[in-house]
Structure 1
Amino acid sequence: MRQHKIFAGDRLRRLREQRSMTQAELADALSISAGYLSQMESDQRPITRELLMRLSRQFGIETNYFSSDDDLRLASELRESASDPLFGSPILPDEASAAVRVAPDIAQRFLHLYRGYLALEEEHRSLQTRVAQTDVGAASRFPYDEVRDWVQSKRNHFDALDRAAERLSEARDFQPENRGEDFIRYLRDTYGVRIGQGPVDLGKGMIWRLDSNAKTLFMSKDAPVESRLFWIAHVIGLLEQRDSIERQIRQARLSNEEAASLARVALANYFAGALVMPYGAFLATARDVRYDIERLQRRFGTSFEQVCHRLSTLQRRNSPGIPFYFLKIDIAGNVLKRSSATRFQFARFGGPCPVWNVHQSFSHPGRILAQLAATPDGTRYLCVARTVSLSAGSYLNRPRAVAVGLGCEVTYAGETVYAKGLNLDDLDAVDFIGPGCRACERSDCRHRALPPIGHPLDVGTVERGVVPYQIDAKTSRTSSLK
């Protein structure tokens, strides 16, 4: 059996520093040399199984703390998919992890096939957007899901675009206080594109349009300043980084042109965020203000959502920020955007967990909510959520009610302003959340809307719980926080 090597140097170093230990002290406690520990922290050597056990005892953590985030996500999705009643009895988390460890390529192919099956089922029942059928040879997949998976595989970080945006910002000396005028001037002088007010026929629901013939970027008159700034940066990205964007899309080997078009938008948006919030300056400021989103808004002239999304992309190898997950949902619970630089598991089927504070934020519009939460694997998170709805521009229009969530593991929480006043070690203050009811194995959750997939139900007639069924204990496992 192929041994799975674990490289988690940054996680190990952060954990050591949070416990105020030197390399020499930790090396002595683990009965290894300081040089060996240094090589593990720089990802020159993997963390062996024996050392995982020693670290677990030394710091009082779960052994999977150092597991590969990508493998954890893959194992979670594999367990969720393979527990569909279509396959009979469910598989256990350990079985899914073993499958990923031994044959990751086979696991990926199984998931690809299962997604194709789901897409065809959804198409047949007309419950979701019809899958494009122009490319008969392509796998039947939803383009949005395919692009999301690709972005996730990159940990929401595209280094070439990030560095290109940073170089351009430094070369042109773009400053936050003059960035709007600087962007307009650069777009005009370099590409001959001027900015125009959106005409009456811009189109209902349209916010901007690039007219190549007129060499004009038309933008909605009702848009806020930070949105207009971002759109200009997006167009600069499309023009400035066309070759780089197309090269990365070709390398992604997406299944159809719809997915490629969505990826093109995603990469141009990424460049725009990196140009408005250059990596080095933004990360330094974020650390200085302890990741205070509102202060970062003011410093860079951006929106709350733009700052949250940018924070989730700061994973440059030699200078990473805190690994954050990012989520954007509407009031109905539909996931509009999601990405994660953490091991956080998003539900692939169904909506997010109702206990999660991103839902509660709709009851407190404009207010930042902080929550300590734990997922079924025992990992605890600091979760921040707030609504980001904008004015519809007219009483006759309906504003779009959306909220964003940002979060990190509690080991990083102390570096943020949002840990203020929270007892990060108080297990009684933790809310137990899951990846969504269909995939969550918590058997005693009073918020459960649906039974977990693949588990037999015990529907008794002489007793009744909060939900009208019990999960059969013989074939289910209840996860708890250790």
Structure 2
Amino acid sequence: MRSRKLFIGGKIRAIRTAEALTQAGFAGKLGISTSYLNQIENNQRHVTASVLMALAETFAIDIASLSDQDSDRLLADVTEALADPLVGAAQPSAADIKLVTQNAPSFARAFLAMHQSMRRAGEQLAELDETIERTGALNEPTPYEEVRDFFHYVDNYIHDLDLAGEALSVQLAKGRGSSVRGLADHIERRHRVRVAIGPDTTGEGGLRRFDPVSRVLWLNPRSSPSTQAFQIAHQVALIEHEETMARIMAAAGFRSADAAAICRIGLANYFAGAAILPYGAFAAGARELRHDLALMADRFGTSIEQVAHRLSTLQRPGQKGVPFFFARVDQAGNITKRHSATKLQFARFGSACPLWNAHRAFETPNRIIRQQAETPDGIRYLCLAMAVTKPGGGWHDPVQHYSLALGCEIAHAPDIVYADDLDMGRAEAFEPIGISCRICERPACHQRAVPPLKRRLRIDPNNRRTIPYALD
């Protein structure tokens, strides 16, 4: 096998510099010409075996240490750093990068050190932003955060829309009920909107599209009947209750038009949930069936997600149900939907606690798993989680996978069928969970990803634990 030529000009130059020799003096000791040494140092000529032997004999250099493996690693590191979007510059060619790492390795290492400093500075700024947001020092939430906080501070219960949705359900019960056909008859009879279940003429797909000119409401034929009914009820809200929603949004005092638009969608969804699952009947069913999600979904002809979501809204004055939290979590740990009538709140930044059973649900699809959990404030919860799949349709269509999480404080366990055989009296039965690593100050968590923001680290090189630091 043909040996690879060795271009190690940077290392030769470093040896000469360490010996405090000029090129002429160094070349004389090696028995080569000054011009040849200059070409070697600039990687224009490779190093021959005779030059390597002269280096070993004259300067006691370990030939193995002159391998270009370090140069290859440096080349890979610089290439990776330049690919970082943080650099944001035009990418040099592979030949240019190799030229720099071979001819000016100290410059390449300086560039890597600068890149690492830039990344650390960016992370520190991000952490500072998180701290400012979390402490309320910067009162400029995003539109989505504004809307989320609005629903949070009204206990996820909108009284006027809840009553309106229940009234529509009672009205529809005289005919075909809150089914797809019943809601389609209602919106066509009252608002001259025709419901068409099939691909819309634009080919855009999605769950729902309303054409205000032709007054046709297109629904995805692959959606479940419960989803189709929900989407019709959503459109009813946009048509019938625009004034009510506008009044609610005006009272909320949103800072931007974007926040108001997002809230309008949330309010229409709220009405739809109230129409499909009317408060009185649903709350009575929850008590009777002891919050058995599958039985409730069967009784009301909806999905388990709709049932779990509606359970988190049962906060009508004088008729409150069990206060639940509800969340939808994707496979990356992002919380894509969140409501809480409990003291448990969800992380505003980063992923949720890895010890929460919402993540483990993906291991057992379509099966409800339970967890007795305790948060750092000492409050104990019964947590339920279930992984579900929403197929898109054809072979090439995307498939959604996510976990549904539902829970309540352990004081309500006697009302929940899933708690019947659990040991509530033993403290060891409750797993410690947090909100997110950045703000959780538990000193000993084997799943901690990053240190908490407000705790000092203690590093002991002689003592390696599950995580490589301790907290003061």
> How does the TM-score come out when normalised to structure 1?
0.69
Residue 383 of structure 2 corresponds to residue 383 of structure 1: yes
Answer yes or no: is the 8 Å Cα contact 1:440–1:452 preserved in 2.
yes
Residue 347 of structure 2 corresponds to residue 347 of structure 1: yes
TM superposition shift of 1:225: 1.1
Query: 1:426, 1:176 → 2: CA distance?
Result: 50
Query: 1:217, 1:86 → 2: CA distance?
Result: 46
Read off the aligned partner of 1:384 and give its amino acid letter: L
Residue 443 of structure 2 corresponds to residue 443 of structure 1: yes
TM superposition shift of 1:220: 1.1
The equivalent residue for 2:284 is: 284
Q: More deviation in 270-279 or 253-262?
A: 253-262
Please state whether the residue corresponding to 1:382 is helix, strand or coil: strand
Q: More deviation in 396-405 or 183-192?
A: 396-405
Query: 2:445, 2:469 → 1: CA distance?
Result: 12
Cα distance change of structure 1 residues 110 and 426 upon mapping to structure 2, 3 Å threshold: closer
Please state whether the residue corresponding to 1:405 is helix, strand or coil: strand
| Residue deviations 1:39-64 (CA, integer Å, cap 9, x gap) | xxxxxxxxxxxxxxxxxxxxxxxxxx
Read off the aligned partner of 1:454 and give its amino acid letter: K
The equivalent residue for 2:356 is: 356
Cα distance change of structure 1 residues 272 and 85 upon mapping to structure 2, 3 Å threshold: closer
Answer yes or no: is the 8 Å Cα contact 1:202–1:208 preserved in 2.
no
The equivalent residue for 1:66 is: none
TM superposition shift of 1:344: 0.7
Answer yes or no: is the 8 Å Cα contact 2:208–2:218 preserved in 1.
yes
The equivalent residue for 1:336 is: 336
Please state whether the residue corresponding to 2:179 is helix, strand or coil: helix
Query: 2:331, 2:322 → 1: CA distance?
Result: 28
Alignment of 1:29-40 (within 5 A): none
Alignment of 1:307-326 (within 5 A): 307-326=307-326
The equivalent residue for 1:249 is: 249
| Residue deviations 1:284-330 (CA, integer Å, cap 9, x gap) | 01100001111110111111110000000000111100000011111
Higher relative contact order (CA 8 A, sep 6+): 1
| Residue deviations 1:412-454 (CA, integer Å, cap 9, x gap) | 0110111021112221111110011111011101011111012
The equivalent residue for 1:457 is: 457
The equivalent residue for 2:85 is: none
Read off the aligned partner of 1:306 and give its amino acid letter: Q
Alignment of 1:76-475 (within 5 A): 86=128, 111-114=135-138, 116=140, 141-173=141-173, 179-199=179-199, 201-204=201-204, 206-472=206-472
Read off the aligned partner of 1:381 and give its amino acid letter: Y
Query: 1:199, 1:401 → 2: CA distance?
Result: 24
Query: 1:441, 1:237 → 2: CA distance?
Result: 44
TM superposition shift of 1:392: 1.7
Cα distance change of structure 1 residues 436 and 251 upon mapping to structure 2, 3 Å threshold: same
Answer yes or no: is the 8 Å Cα contact 1:356–1:433 preserved in 2.
yes
Answer yes or no: is the 8 Å Cα contact 1:376–1:433 preserved in 2.
yes
Query: 1:201, 1:85 → 2: CA distance?
Result: 47
Q: More deviation in 174-183 or 275-284?
A: 174-183
Read off the aligned partner of 1:411 and give its amino acid letter: A
Please state whether the residue corresponding to 2:462 is helix, strand or coil: coil
Answer yes or no: is the 8 Å Cα contact 1:233–1:271 preserved in 2.
yes
Query: 2:398, 2:422 → 1: CA distance?
Result: 37
Read off the aligned partner of 1:144 and give its amino acid letter: Y
Answer yes or no: is the 8 Å Cα contact 2:385–2:405 preserved in 1.
yes
Read off the aligned partner of 1:244 and give its amino acid letter: T
Answer yes or no: is the 8 Å Cα contact 1:165–1:271 preserved in 2.
yes
**What is the root-mean-square deviation in Å for CA atoms of aligned residues?**
2.0
Q: More deviation in 409-418 or 341-350?
A: 341-350
Query: 2:379, 2:214 → 1: CA distance?
Result: 54
Runs of 4+ aligned residues of structure 1 deviating over 6 Å after TM superposition are 175-178
Read off the aligned partner of 1:227 and give its amino acid letter: T
The equivalent residue for 2:35 is: none
Please state whether the residue corresponding to 2:254 is helix, strand or coil: coil
Read off the aligned partner of 2:346 and give its amino acid letter: F
Answer yes or no: is the 8 Å Cα contact 1:176–1:299 preserved in 2.
no
Read off the aligned partner of 2:442 and give its amino acid letter: R
Q: More deviation in 245-254 or 422-431?
A: 422-431
Q: More deviation in 388-397 or 373-382?
A: 388-397
Query: 2:406, 2:175 → 1: CA distance?
Result: 27
Read off the aligned partner of 2:463 and give its amino acid letter: E
Answer yes or no: is the 8 Å Cα contact 1:196–1:216 preserved in 2.
yes
> How does the TM-score come out when normalised to structure 2?
0.70
Read off the aligned partner of 2:356 and give its amino acid letter: W
| Residue deviations 1:326-373 (CA, integer Å, cap 9, x gap) | 111110011111111111121122111111010001111111011100
Identical aligned pairs, as a percentage? 39
Please state whether the residue corresponding to 2:415 is helix, strand or coil: coil
Answer yes or no: is the 8 Å Cα contact 2:178–2:229 preserved in 1.
no
Please state whether the residue corresponding to 1:386 is helix, strand or coil: strand
Answer yes or no: is the 8 Å Cα contact 1:176–1:300 preserved in 2.
no
Answer yes or no: is the 8 Å Cα contact 1:234–1:272 preserved in 2.
yes
Please state whether the residue corresponding to 2:274 is helix, strand or coil: helix
Q: More deviation in 203-212 or 263-272?
A: 203-212
| Residue deviations 1:373-422 (CA, integer Å, cap 9, x gap) | 00001100000111122112112122011111000000001101110211
Cα distance change of structure 1 residues 175 and 351 upon mapping to structure 2, 3 Å threshold: farther
TM superposition shift of 1:111: 4.8
TM superposition shift of 1:179: 2.3
The equivalent residue for 1:100 is: none
Answer yes or no: is the 8 Å Cα contact 1:202–1:209 preserved in 2.
no
* Unaligned residue ranges in structure 2 (runs of 5+): 1-125
Cα distance change of structure 1 residues 350 and 445 upon mapping to structure 2, 3 Å threshold: same
Cα distance change of structure 1 residues 199 and 163 upon mapping to structure 2, 3 Å threshold: same
TM superposition shift of 1:456: 1.3
Answer yes or no: is the 8 Å Cα contact 1:174–1:182 preserved in 2.
no
Query: 1:456, 1:289 → 2: CA distance?
Result: 49
Which protein shows a greater Rg? 2
Please state whether the residue corresponding to 2:206 is helix, strand or coil: coil
TM superposition shift of 1:114: 2.5
